[in-house]
Amino acid sequence: MLIRRRTFLKTASLAAASLWLPRFLQAHARPGALPVRGKALVVVQLSGGNDGLNTVVPVRNDVYYRERPRIAIKAADALRLTEEAALHPALKGLKGLYDSGDLAILHNVGYPNPDRSHFRSMDIWHSASPAHEYWHTGWIGRYLDAQCSPQPCLAPAIELGDAVGLALKGQQRKGIALREPAELRAATRSAYFAEYAATGAAHAPAETPIGYLYKTMTDAIASADYIFEKSQVRPSTANYPDTPLGRQFKTVASLLLSDADTVVYYLSLGSFDTHINQPAQHQRLLGQLDAALAAFAADLKANGRWNDTLVMTFSEFGRRVGQNASGGTDHGTANQMFFLGGALRRQGLLNTLPNLTDLDQGDLKFDTDFRQVYATVLERWLEVKHPPILGQAFRLLDFI
């Protein structure tokens, strides 16, 4: 049966938008490569440039209060961690996790020659490239390339969203994007999708571009069925906030509790681009992050999966030290990262707070390259050698 070009492109677009996946993860895939003894990595991207100074507040720093007379968090309102540092008042759940030894905070994370463009800086974080080089694969995608060749793994990486970002795109392997398992399954079970996948598999040579796309569509059907079925084995019954991020975390929990063969989950929250009227927007976003993380941690603790899970947050850059004239902050450079889990080797504040008297044209100076974090996660959590994935060797950190 021949397929008209318009219909084929419509179906191909659905496959590409849903999956971005060359040979995705079937039940007959090679066993044993993944997961690593049941471990999972959950990456939370704080899109837009989260203001780190109002997230972890230097409550005894006079420079902080002088430079932010309208938007600084009052010391009396902040959630005290140490004599010098406190959390934003919206982060009560994270304060509890800090107190229980389930949270580590790394300050002053960045990279040489920082870029203040949202798009370029996010590409650098996604790809783990030097600032002056443009790479077209992501650090997690290259991890998939290393672990899932020559045969595919079984559902190694999922991004909760509409499309797979650069971080999960490798040269040969890519993650899969979904909002909900049931929605993905319904999309791949549409009459057009199933019919044309079957037609192409029967008639299009596998080595041709059209055959390759048909094979992707065929694999997508099996993959969507697998993820949906796994999500129903032991769906989470815990209470999560009724927010997009809360629902994403509940989906992740359901797959973790059902022992899905997924190692990396990738979630996003934004926008943290608080140029104007920052306090209300920042409070709302941090509150959503806090509620979702607290529910997720409680759920996994109650079900014995917290020690097997590492949560890592990042943002493409921080904000400038001084507030602007619009009651907000502009694009900066270095920032902090949060790590949550039951198997942290070090907890609490991992290094010193940012130095607000030694700035680079009004911006914080970094002292930890974010690729050191990636190298540490790859080596000590995912148990793979990091230089082939990151392109060079980095000094490992000791939080895991």
Number of H helices, E strands in the chain: 12, 12
Q: Pick 185 or 259 by higher pLDDT.
A: 259
Alpha helices in the chain (DSSP H): 5-18, 62-67, 92-99, 118-127, 139-147, 181-188, 191-203, 209-233, 244-257, 278-302, 370-380, 387-390
Average pLDDT for residues 63-83, to the nearest whole number? 98
Pairing of β 103-110 and β 335-340: antiparallel
The owner of tokens 């979904």 is: 178
pLDDT of 160 > 80? The answer is: yes
Mean pLDDT for all residues in the chain: 87
Average pLDDT for residues 182-200, to the nearest whole number? 64
pLDDT in tens, 244-280: 999 999 999 999 999 888 999 999 999 999 999 999 9
pLDDT of 102 > 90? The answer is: yes
pLDDT band with cut points at 50, 70 and 90 for residue 18? very low
Determine which of 62-71, 127-136, 145-154, 332-341 has the lowest per-residue pLDDT on average: 145-154
pLDDT of 33 > 60? The answer is: no
Domain 39-180+240-390 coded CATH 3.20.20.220? no
| Domain regions of the chain by residue span | 39-180+240-390
What pLDDT does residue 202 have? Answer: 54
User: For the whole model, what pTM was predicted?
Assistant: 0.87
What pLDDT does residue 80 have? Answer: 98
190, 261 Cβ separation under 8 angstroms: no
pLDDT of 201 > 60? The answer is: no
Please give the share of the chain, as a percent, with pLDDT higher than 90.
71
